[in-house]
Structure 1
Amino acid sequence: MRTLELKDFGDLIGECTTQALHLEMRDAYVPSDPSFIAFTGGPAHDRTQRERDWHDLIAPAVARGVAVRRARIVSEPVTPYIRFEHAVTASMNLAAGEEVRWLPRRQASDLALPGNDFWLFDERLVRFHHFAGDGEHIVDELTDDAAAIKLCASAFAAVWERAIDHREYAIS
């Protein structure tokens, strides 16, 4: 697979004309995140700036007509991190204009999925995210490889079709 020079995420969203698709498949991300630590009872942390920054990045793309969709494949019962993501989705993702759906992992067994989370921009670029086993972010990788794009597009479409809208997905 051909790897390109990594572009800033904001530039990738800014260049988008039709759609930006994000597939998340992990049950834990960045355990050092101050917002997550606060959610689990640690020191208080104000998410206001983080949410404002995300809104400032995503809302203009949505206003230009870019469909920004996020699908999350999750194990059930959910982990504390997924509980956190679910709790902040309305104020962070939906408020910015994203559409978000959730798919219980047991409903994804027969789907062909890539090995890593990704963003797919206009079916022309894929940005893969690489994480350590504990969920800490390691590095991102950008490609325009046709086979990777095809796999990510078909995987996202299959997950999206089965997934449950955020407003209807209740965690236990």
Structure 2
Amino acid sequence: MPPFPELIAGAIRSAIHLEMRDAYSPDNPNFRRWLETGSLDHIDFTKWRDTIGDAIARGVEFRRARIVSEPLADYIRYEHALTQEYNVAAGERVRWLPRRQASDLALPGNDFWVFDDRLIRFHHFAGDGSILDDELCDEPSVIKLCISAFDAVWERAIDHADYGPA
């Protein structure tokens, strides 16, 4: 499995990411500290901003959509709190879709990234949100499904600047 920065470095035009879980990495020390303090001051955003910024400078567009349950789970509240400084400041466009507005959408079973409409990186998680592994897929029919699902979510989702979680 190529490291994630390598996949981003290989992108030429686009990278889309769909997140559909309510919990990720429960032992993440940044998340744990945020739960305790409510502060993001301990997080260094430099590496992500540099990685995404370099790709954007090459012309790559980044879009991230999150399907979320409301009221938000703790981990998603944490993601919402850091999205402006972490994702948006790096150059990503981020939208949020309340889960109840996604009931009639056909969605893949796992979170994913699609790079340049040619390669998918699926993320596989345990029930508690712990990362199990990732899988690459270049099957055209699966790519088409994932892009279609992402586009349907993106069309309905609320821009981060306008999303106030319930």
Into which bin does the TM-score normalised by the smaller protein fall? over 0.9
Task: Name segments (4+ residues, structure 1) moved above 3 Å.
Answer: none
- Corresponding letter in the other structure for 1:59: G
Could you say which residue in structure 1 is the equivalent of 2:132? 138
**How many angstroms apart in 2 are the aligned matches of 1:46 and 1:81?**
17
Q: 1:1-20 counterparts in 2 under 5 A?
A: 6-20=1-15
Residue of 52, 59, 76 corresponding to 1:58? 52
Of the structure 1 ranges 20-29 and 9-18, higher mean CA displacement relative to structure 2 is found in 9-18
Structure 2 match to 1:91 = 85
Distance 2:94 2:153 in 1: 12
1:35 to 16, 20, 30: 30
TM-score, normalised on structure 1?
0.93
Aligned to 1:46: 42
Residues 36-71 of structure 1: per-residue CA shift (max 9 Å, x gap): 1011117x88211xx111111111111111110100
Q: Which residue of 2 aligns with 1:157?
A: 151
What SS does the aligned partner of 2:105 have?
coil
Q: Which runs of 5+ in 2 are unaligned?
A: none
* 1:122 maps to 2:116: yes
CA deviation vs aligned residue, 1:67-121 (integer Å, no higher than 9, x gap): 1010000001110111000000011001110000000000001111000000000
- Write the letter of the residue equivalent to 1:26: R
Pairwise CA RMSD:
1.4
* Percentage of identical aligned residues: 60
- Equivalents in 2 of 1:162, 1:75: separation in Å? 15
Task: Tell me how far apart the structure 2 counterparts of residues 54 and 41 of structure 1 sit (CA, whole Å).
Answer: 24
Counterpart-to-counterpart distance in 2, 1:132 and 1:148:
22
Match of 2:162 among 158, 161, 168: 168
CA distance in 2, matches of 1:62, 1:24: 21
Query: TM-score of the superposition, structure 2-length normalised?
Result: 0.96
Aligned pairs, number:
165
Check if 1:70 corresponds to 2:64.
yes
Shift of 1:171: 1.2
Partner of 2:74: 80
Structure 1: gaps (5+ residues): 1-5
Task: Give the counterpart letter for 1:27 in structure 2.
Answer: D
